[in-house]
Amino acid sequence: MTTQLLVGGMVYSSPAVPDATALAITDGVVVWVGTDDVGRALHPDAEVVDLDGHFVAPAFVDSHVHLTDMGLRLTGLDLTDATSRTDCLDRLAAHVADSDQAIVWGLGWDASTWSGDQPDDDMPPTTDDIDRVAGGRPVYLARVDEHSAAASTALRELVHGIEAVTGFDAQGPLVADAHHRVRAAARALITPEARHDAQIKALDHAASRGVVAVHENGGPDISGVDDFRSLADLDHGVTVRRYWGQPVSTLEEARAVVSAMGADGIGGDLFVDGALGSRTAWLSAEYSDAPGEFGVSYLDEETIANHLRATTLAGVQAGFHVIGDGAVAAVAAA
């Protein structure tokens, strides 16, 4: 057996040892927590590591990630800090000039926080705006909640009949089914190599923050089958637990989905509704800034109840994406 004794730190531990400064690790297992002097006496032959005042805590688990998205944001077009429509388009132009990828994938814009000197600087980019900057390239720019997106004409044209789909807007961001279809078209343009690089980048980032396990919340309208299955082949020290957001109605169907997808659970981001910022969260009263709009309901109470029954019989963890009070009420009733 080999033992390391870590001393001189601030160790997060139980209330029984609130002043812990040291811990002993034998063959990868924490076997003791306490103070430096007691640790040295109990483990005289241990390799001593000086923590130099650093804080020590159990590793973290991130229970809701989309690894490919996270990696693309880390390596690509991150619009989280954009301050206006003009700024967003300037960032897009700079990225287009430097990127040779088949799809320009941007994430994180939030027009509700924008302002500026130009007309409509507090509004999302339009299709014409994006076309003017990106020319004929497919461009997908997801809002911060990823339940709506602005998209170029070149990307929209990859979805046959999108004009007739719920949530379509010729110039504004796409929501609901129109968004899901455009997202799938954009996702299909990401090469396997680019996808793998993004996933590894995301896991490296998680590890750098003390995260040792993540829960991927995938689904047909989020990551797609190929992306979800590819996660099983990753070779990385961070554990990936996978949840697939697809409704099932019978025990047999639940077992079939788990088997086909290699999923640890059927839920996670199983959409009951959308998000407030995209006005797709399912509300019991109309949106105060959009009279007559109550959001989107993707699953009704009966479908939710059948899903819960089927997954319970299969011994598989269920779960839902629920934002609005109307969606919460439906899940609670089910």
Q: Which of 299, 321, 315, 310 is nearest to 248 (CA)?
A: 310
What per-residue confidence (pLDDT) applies to 1? 82
pLDDT at residue 328 tops 90: yes
Mean pLDDT of 27-41: 95
What per-residue confidence (pLDDT) applies to 7? 98
The residue extents of the domains of the chain are 3-58, 65-188, 245-333
What per-residue confidence (pLDDT) applies to 15? 84
pLDDT at residue 225 tops 90: yes
pLDDT at residue 14 tops 90: no
pLDDT at residue 195 tops 90: yes
CA 20 to CA 278: how far, in whole Å? 47
Q: Which of 245, 242, 248 is nearest to 230 (CA)?
A: 242
Q: How many residues in the chain?
A: 334
Digit-coded pLDDT (tens) for 297-327: 999 999 999 999 999 999 999 999 999 999 9
Q: Spell out the residues 6+ positions from residue 33 whose beta carbon is closer than 8 angstroms to its own.
A: 11, 13, 14, 17, 20, 22, 23, 24
pLDDT at residue 56 tops 90: yes
What per-residue confidence (pLDDT) applies to 250? 97
What per-residue confidence (pLDDT) applies to 85? 97
Angle between helices 85-98 and 127-134 (to 10 degrees): 30
CA 111 to CA 185: how far, in whole Å? 24
DSSP state, residue 71: H
Mean pLDDT of 110-132: 96
Q: Which two tokens stand for residue 244?
A: 């697939």
Task: Assign a CATH topology to domain 3-58.
Answer: Urease, subunit C; domain 1 (2.30.40)
CA 254 to CA 326: how far, in whole Å? 26
DSSP state, residue 128: H
Edge-to-edge strand ranges of the sheet holding 265-266: 60-65, 211-218, 239-244, 265-266, 317-318
Coil vs helix vs strand at 12: coil
Q: Which of 183, 172, 178, 181 is nearest to 290 (CA)?
A: 172
Across the chain, mean pLDDT equals 95
Q: Which CATH number is correct for 65-188, 3.10.310.70, 3.40.640.10, 3.40.50.300, 1.10.8.590? A: 3.10.310.70
- The percentage of residues in the chain with a pLDDT greater than 70, rounded to a whole number, is 100
Phi, psi of 32 (to 5 degrees): -160, 145
